[in-house]
Amino acid sequence: MIDRKTGFLELAFDKTIKPTMSLGEIKSMDIGESQSEIDMGNGWKWYNVRNVKVAELYFIISFGFLDDRLKQLSLVFSNSKYDLSKGWESWNEKEERRNAVVFDNWLKAELGSGKTFSWGEVWVDYDEKGGSSSIGIRYKN
């Protein structure tokens, strides 16, 4: 899914996310079950897509754009489709910390143990304040 040489995110044979893409280009791909956009008012916009099926996994992907150029991604995934009607009542700290371990193992399987590449950097994080775990990608472009 993540190309080690380029940092491209391959969602399907005809749907590849590249670090040079604009918000409009990614929106036109019509990926995921639901989409939302947030304008931060400082040049940054976030485009969130939910339940993007890649192979046997379901992803929620947040695309971060600065001045309409893709700069950052945040990914989470599950073996089953996300129930988008669930809220904070379903949150569990132990499960979320376990997700961080699962995400880290997946990222190592995708890219090896390296975290810095010619195209950017990757990481897995558990955010205590936000109560979530995710995989991050930041492009150098």
Span 26-66, pLDDT tens digits: 999 999 999 999 999 999 999 999 999 999 999 999 999 99
pLDDT tens profile 68-88: 999 999 999 999 999 888 777
Question: Which two three-digit tokens encode residue 82?
Answer: 């996300």
Backbone angles phi, psi at 69, to 5 degrees: -125, 130
- Confidence band (pLDDT; 50, 70, 90) for 91? confident
Task: Please choose, from the candidates 31, 37, 25, the residue with its C-alpha nearest in 3D space to the C-alpha of residue 11.
Answer: 31
C-alpha to C-alpha distance for 66 and 42, rounded to whole angstroms: 9
